[in-house]
Amino acid sequence: MGYDGNNIGGYNTDAPQWTQFIGKTIESFDWTKDSIVIRFTDGNEITGNAWGECCSVTWLESIDLPENISGTLVNIEDIDMPTLPHDEKAYECLQFYGVKISTSKGSAVIDYRNESNGYYGGSIDWYWTKKVGGNA
């Protein structure tokens, strides 16, 4: 998916590491169908872009319980998402992905999707938007 439990940027060698943010407070966030921006109280900011492999399209579908994102970060993990009813004629292959963000306020789930011919997938790839100091 978008990270391997630690390196959340895929092939991006300067990608933020989630372990850097455990215990830090998320101040705010904004999201669109294409990306999510997360701002921390220490001034750091990361952006997650919906990314689809060749010949596919990925998008952020929804965020369940978004009010729980702003708080002290406890954990983040990929989760299995159920295949929901959808118009199978509209999509050759529709895949369902999720990222669970747990904070001091509770948990929120970023639900994202990928449409392809069934061979390709998608992810959320994370990048620094604003990096304060050499070590976040």
Q: What is the pLDDT of residues 110-127, one digit of tens each?
A: 999 998 887 888 999 888
pTM here is: 0.82
Q: Number of folded domains in the chain? A: 1
3 falls within a domain: no
100 falls within a domain: yes
Tell whether the torsion through CA atoms of 59, 80, 70 and 48 is positive or negative.
negative
Per-residue pLDDT reduced to its tens digit, 64-81: 999 999 999 999 888 888
- Look up the domain containing 78 and give its range: 18-130
Sheet hosting strand 35-40, strand order edge to edge: 26-31, 35-40, 45-52, 122-130
6 falls within a domain: no
Per-residue pLDDT reduced to its tens digit, 44-60: 999 999 999 888 999 99
Residue with tokens 């963000």: 101
30 falls within a domain: yes
Q: How confident is the model at residue 9 (pLDDT cuts 50, 70, 90)?
A: very low
50 falls within a domain: yes
Residues 125 and 51 sit within 8 Å (Cβ to Cβ): yes
Distance CA 66, CA 132 (A): 25
5 falls within a domain: no
Distance CA 50, CA 35 (A): 6
3-state secondary structure 64-109: ECHHHCCCEEEEEEEEECCCCCCCCCCCCEEEEEEEEEEECCEEEE
9 falls within a domain: no
8 falls within a domain: no
